[in-house]
Structures are given as structure tokens and as C-alpha cells.
Structure 1
């Protein structure tokens, strides 16, 4: 489902259409479809728009964002299907070169063929951007005049065999992801790629609220252009084993650990062998307070240096409802990225990215929510040209029907 942004534009269009009528709060019925319009607007102060390095001059600016969304939901033979569109427009008052307009389209469906056979599908398309100093331009945000833009897509499907009450479940899955930068320079062309994944997961109940799982995937990474550079095409094999549990009414979680191999088509880049993991725990000591702890390790395609990125992520989040309409959220996330070079005479690049965020939300009406937030980001690296810090403070309004 698309991010739940709120849509005044969609609301205006819908209310002007006489054939539509309100079905329930937040929805409008149009024939066989329920239309769900929404809109989000924010105003924020950013103290490092281009993510300039620590020794460079920073750009300070207020920024406003407008993000309407419209979702059309229906059912096909009792199975939920929906399609949605979201637009996000960002305007910087003191740095118009960083203005952006992003488009997001998503369609999904869940189909229960019978008690033992289920299929789900998801399609996503994004016409988006990378803020200067992020993604491909980390460490060189001031060296480019405007944000990098790209087109990306994600197509995925899952088939599950087994009744809900069965001790065992088998899930077969596939996914295709593509990334294409809009720029035509060689440095960008060699980053355009397609990742195709196929795999399966088997789960077997070993306790009243615990299941053992084994997750096996094979991923094929193929780059569109290599030009005069040595190919980064590779094949990845990942095998994870672990458990999923709900030990008490207050605790749920999963933990999987296993083996990862990344074999490059170009043998001079070598083959990576390592340990991957995925862990997530939700603890709800009381109904109005939730703690979420997660960590993972995996390999990623490089956005600049090296043959690939070896990444590890750690995060802690606390959500708390103080009153019926008043809530807070606090989180700390750390991302450790090692840019791996197989060349003997080049040291690996090590980045550490830490993000702190806090928000306070007030549900003024059923259809209106206000939030204020603060976010601080700090990136350190063993490369002097990479590190930066950035603060952002702002307010957000969300509107629904």
C-alpha cells in the first residue's frame, strides 16, 4: 500500500463529481470502487540541504512539501485489490535548485483460491529523486547543481500452499527490481541495473506459538551498461534459518540467520562469503506502548565506490499513546556500510550513518492530524570527503475525508 499521505487535490476532484457519494468515513463509493483520498503537507527547516561535508559551507533553507494521494480499492470474487497514486512536491525557499516532484504508483492484490492456495501480487513504479549528497552523490552534494532523478520499478508475487491451521506452510516468491538514472553520463549509466530474485520459504510449527522457518533465495544482478568498465554482474545465494514466535500476548518476533554468497561474473572481483541475519522483536508491555528492536545484515549494490556494499542495520523505536489523541515516537537507527574493494592496494571504505528522530502527534479531528518532528543525521567515514551532519525540524498536517 502507498504511504498514507492525505489528498486535498483528490478530495476536490471527487467532491465535484456528482455520481459519487460518501460510503463511510474516509471513503467515497464510485461504482465497484471505494476511493480513499488523502493529503499531507509539511513545513520544515533544514540546516544542510545538499548534505555538504563537514569542511564545506552549508545551505540553510525552509522547505515545504505537498503530497496528495488517491487509492481505489475493490474486491474481485471477495479478494481485495487496490491501485493508488501519490505525488510529492518539495519546494526549498532558499535553494530552488533542490526543488523536486516525485510520482508513485502502486497496485496490489491478495487472492485466496481456496483454503490451501493463496496468491499475492504487488507492482510499484517510482519517478523519484535523490537529495544532493545522498545515494550516488554522497560526499559531493555541492558538486552537482540539482538532485539526481531516476525511474525505478518493483514487481513481486508470492504463492502460499497450506491451510491456516496447518503445521507447515510453503511460500514460493519472485521479485524483479529495476533502477534507471535519468542522466546520461558514463558514471550514471553503469549504475542502471535489474535485480531478479526467486526463492522459497518453508515454515513448520514447533510449538503453540512458535514456528521454525528456512528461507532460500537466488538473486541475479544485471547491469544495463558496462562501457569500458569491468562488469559488476553477479549471482547471489542466500540461505536463512530461524524461528517466528508470539511467546506472550505482549511479545512477537522473528530471528533468522544464515549464509550469503555473492559471485561476480568477472572473476577478478572475487566471490564474497558471509553471514546474513534478520531479527525483529515487538514488545508491548501495555496496550498503549510498543518497543520495536530490529537488526539485519546483507549485501547491496554500490552507489559509487567499490565492488559492493556490506551493510549492517540496527534500530530501536518506541511508540507511546499518552492520551487518546496524543502520541509520541522516538527512534535511533544505525547503518554500518563497508564499501568492499577486491583490489589489494585499495582499503575498504567504512561509513557509519546514525539517525535520531522524535515526533509528537495530535489527532485534532477524525479527519485531521498534526505532528511536529525533529531529525538529526550524522555520517562518519574513514574517507575525509564523505562525512556530514544534518538537522531537520518541522510540522506536518494530514487530512482525510
Structure 2
């Protein structure tokens, strides 16, 4: 492989991990470090947020301009079909009208994709994050800053069977350790949220057409809390299908049921229907409609046993020219809180967003956007509306 072609490949690999899921993005030119590509990028955004704490109307509702600076470094290397990546980024957020909320988040991630033969492949990943949330209904009334926490994870996914074979099998595992660093004696009770999570997944595929496969999947999650009584084991059993570029659509549909078994016999064990759906419809080569919906029991806290969550979303991405892309989206999330002092609480969140991106240069993207959230809740302290207007720039070499 020539040096120029190798760098082009590294650029594509590194760009893919940084900007995965974006409709358009800058095209970084990697720095050659002797077979390894280094891709530095920088994202700068300025946002006006009229409700940074997601508070109801009243004294707790606070607005601020927020400046975000997010540099990122990615090292990428490729050996035939094997790909290796190391990415570090930080996000520094400055709240000009609420300086106690200033914070810097750190994200470190390593990924590898290895293909031992046409029938055997392995993806490995590891990561470390150190983050701070903005204040919410649990801690906006006291003098504490937002909850700070750090998490570490290691995981992998083994695939057996050639990509064109009739059947394939995937086996996945992930271990996450999460610990909160502050507010441990306040009303937010973050000490109750420290937990270790083991996740296992087995997925079998059966090809029924060149680009369509049926699937059956079993997921297992073991939640081990340090101090809380929320220790549990969860199982999800799903069947469905996945297809690529069939009749202008790409997507995956999974439906089934889930059960959660708490180690505390006094808690009710949920047994619910569950689903995951994600589809992209491309009626034109320059226009895409994305649909998604999911339903599952999510982890609770010291105030509830679990949260039965269902969400629906639709968005439209359109390339008006080679340089100008717009996106318009709406999502709805319904949350039912089960058990504990929050038992019977219901939240319904409507979210709207609109954005336009201008690809000014290969190395420079400019964007502008608006988002609106409206959360209605049976808990008066958790109902809010929030407007955000932002401008951003993505820069690379």
C-alpha cells in the first residue's frame, strides 16, 4: 500500500470514529507518524440556554450563555483488515452567568477490529470517562455543584461466520465500573448510584435474502450496587430482522420481552414487552428520514426501583447542496417510575431540534441550530421547558 493511500485510509478510519452518525463532517488530513495517523480536531460552540438546570418556573430557573471548547486527538493504524484506534477528547464548558457550573469532561477510548479469517473476527474496546452533570431537581436547591462521576469499561464482540454465509453468530461482553465523586451526603444521594454492570449478549443471524437477515438475541445484565438495594439481574429476549439498502431503506427491528429479578424479595420484579427499532429511509440520494423507537426498563435510584421508558423519534436530514445540510427532528419519551418514594410518577418529554450545517472548507464546518424541550411531570419540581440556540465550528488540519 502506498504512503498516500495508507494516509487516506487512516483519515477515513479516524474521521469515522470522531464523527460517526453525523450527516456531514470535516475531512481531516492525518499527520503521518510512521505508519500511524494522528488526527487533531477542535469543536467550538456558543449556546444560549434559558434553563440550564431544567427547573420549573420560579427562582431556580437560570439562563446563561455557555461556551464549549472540545479538542480531540485520534491515533489510527491499519494492518490489512485490522484497525486500531485511540481517541482522547475533553470538553470544557464555561457558564458565563453561573460560574459554579463550569466543568471539564474527559473521554478516553481505545478500539480495535481484527479479522483472523473470513469466518472469525473480534472487536475490542476500553474506555475511561470523567464527567460532571448540570444540576437538576435532586440538587439545584443546595450549594453543591452538579454530580461528578467517573466510569471505566472494557468489552468485546466476537463474530463467527462469513459475512455472506447463511448463518452468523455474535457473542458480546462488557464490564462497566461507575463511581460518583461528590454530593455523597446531600439530597442527591449519589453514593447510592455507585455500581458495577456486567452485560452479555448473544445474537444469531439467518440470511433470507442477499441483504436481509432474521435475528434472535438474548441479553443479560447484572447490576451490582455498592450500598443500595437495587442489585438485580435482567434478561431480554428479542427476535427481529436487519437489512441493508433494501428498497431505499436500512434498518433493524427487534421485539420481545424482558424480565428483571431483584435480589431484594420485597421489590416487584417487572416482566414487560420490549423493543428496539431503527430505520433510515432514503427516498432520494440527498435526503434521509430516520425513525427510531425503543422500550425497556431502565435502572432506578434511591427514589425508585426502575423506570419503564418508551421513546419515539423521527428526523429528516437533507443535503441542499454539496456544502449545505439541514436536519429537523422530534422525539417523545414517556417515563413511568415504579417503586420507592417516586412510585406512580410519570414524565412525558417532547424534544424538537432544527439545525443547518455549512461545509465551508474541507477542514472547516460551521453550524447553527435550535432545540426546545418540554417536560410535563406529575412531580412539580421536575416539570420544565428549555430553549437552546447554538452556533458551532468544527476545525481540523
CA 1:27–1:189 in 2, change beyond 3 Å: closer, same or farther?
Answer: same
The corresponding residue for 2:367 is: 371
SS at match of 2:381: coil
Once the two structures are superposed, what CA deviation does each residue of 1:279-316 show, in whole Å capped at 9, x if it has no partner?
11110000110000000011111245210111111110
- 5 Å-filtered alignment, 1:286-297, equals 286-297=284-295
Residue 384 of structure 1: aligned partner: 380
Residues 210 and 247 of structure 1 are in contact (CA less than 8 Å); yes or no, is this contact kept in structure 2?
A: no
Q: CA deviation at 1:197?
A: 1.1
- The answer to whether 1:28 aligns with 2:24 is no
- Which has the higher mean CA deviation after the structures are superposed, 380-389 or 46-55? 46-55
Distance 1:103 1:50, change over 3 A: same
* CA 181–2 in structure 1, closer or farther in 2 if over 3 Å, else same: farther
Instruction: Report SS of the residue matched to 2:190.
Output: helix
**Aligned residue number for residue 398 of structure 1:** 394
RMSD between superposed Cα atoms in Å = 1.9
- Choose which of 176, 199, 216 in structure 2 pairs with 1:214: 216
- How many residue pairs get aligned? The number is 373
> Is 2:129 the counterpart of 1:130?
no
Compared CA separation, residues 284 and 293, structure 1 to 2 (3 A): same
**For residues 67 and 225 of structure 1, what CA distance do their matches in structure 2 show?**
35
For residues 351 and 76 of structure 1, the distance between their equivalents in structure 2, rounded to whole angstroms, comes to 49
Q: 1:342 and 1:257, CA in 2 relative to 1: closer, same or farther beyond 3 A?
A: farther
With over 3 angstroms needed to count, the CA separation of the structure-2 counterparts of 1:383 and 1:289, relative to structure 1, is: same
Structure 1 partner of 2:207: 205
Does the CA contact (< 8 Å) of 1:168 and 1:204 recur in 2? yes
Q: If the length of structure 2 is used for normalisation, what is the TM-score? A: 0.90
Tell me whether 1:60 sits opposite 2:63 in the alignment.
yes
Seen in structure 2, the aligned counterparts of structure 1 residues 387 and 363 have a Cα distance that, compared at 3 Å, is same
Give the superposition deviation at 1:372.
0.4
Q: What SS is found at the alignment partner of 1:271?
A: coil
Give, in angstroms, the shift of residue 208 of structure 1: 3.6
**Partners of 1:173 and 1:225 in 2: CA distance:** 28
For the residue of structure 2 that corresponds to 1:190, the secondary structure is helix
Once residues 247 and 112 of structure 1 are traced to their aligned partners in structure 2, the CA distance between those partners, rounded to angstroms, is 24
- Secondary structure in structure 2 of the residue aligned to 1:164: coil
Check the 8 A contact 1:284/1:290 in 2, yes or no: yes
**Aligned residue runs from structure 1 range 133-152, under 5 A:** 133=136, 138=137, 140-152=139-151
Decide whether aligned partners of structure 1 residues 3 and 179 sit closer, same or farther in structure 2, where only a CA change above 3 A counts: farther
CA distance in 1, matches of 2:175, 2:297: 17
Quickly say closer, same or farther: Cα 1:172–1:240, change in 2 above 3 A.
same
| Whole-angstrom CA distance in 1 between matches of 2:370 and 2:274 | 32
Does the residue aligned with 1:385 lie in a helix, a strand or coil? helix
Distance 1:71 1:246, change over 3 A: closer
d(CA) in 1 for partners of 2:28 and 2:316?
Answer: 29
Quick check: 2:337–2:343 contact (8 Å CA) kept in 1?
no
Please list, as runs of the form range in 1=range in 2, the aligned pairs for 1:94-133 lying within 5 A after superposition: 94-133=97-136
Matches within 5 A, 1:15-54: 26-54=29-57
Deviation at 1:90, TM superposition (A): 0.5
Could you tell me how far apart the structure 2 residues matched to 1:93 and 1:42 are?
A: 13
1:194 corresponds to 2:196: yes
* Structure 1 position 145, deviation (Å): 3.5
Q: Where does the alignment leave 5 or more consecutive residues of structure 2 unmatched?
A: 1-15, 21-26
Paired position in structure 1 for 2:23: none
Question: 1:20 corresponds to which residue?
Answer: none
Deviation at 1:78, TM superposition (A): 4.4
In the alignment, the residues of structure 2 paired with residue 242 and residue 298 of structure 1 have an alpha-carbon distance, to the nearest angstrom, of 16
Name the residue aligned to 2:181.
182
Give the structure 2 partner of residue 82 of structure 1. 85
Give 1:163's aligned residue: 162
CA contact (8 A) 2:83 2:113 kept: yes
TM-score between the two structures when normalised by the length of structure 1: 0.89
**3-state SS of paired residue (2:100):** helix
Residue in 1 aligned with 2:252? Answer: 254
Q: CA deviation at 1:249?
A: 4.5
303-312 or 124-133, which deviates more: 303-312
- Any conservation in 1 of the 2:29–2:39 contact (CA below 8 Å)? yes
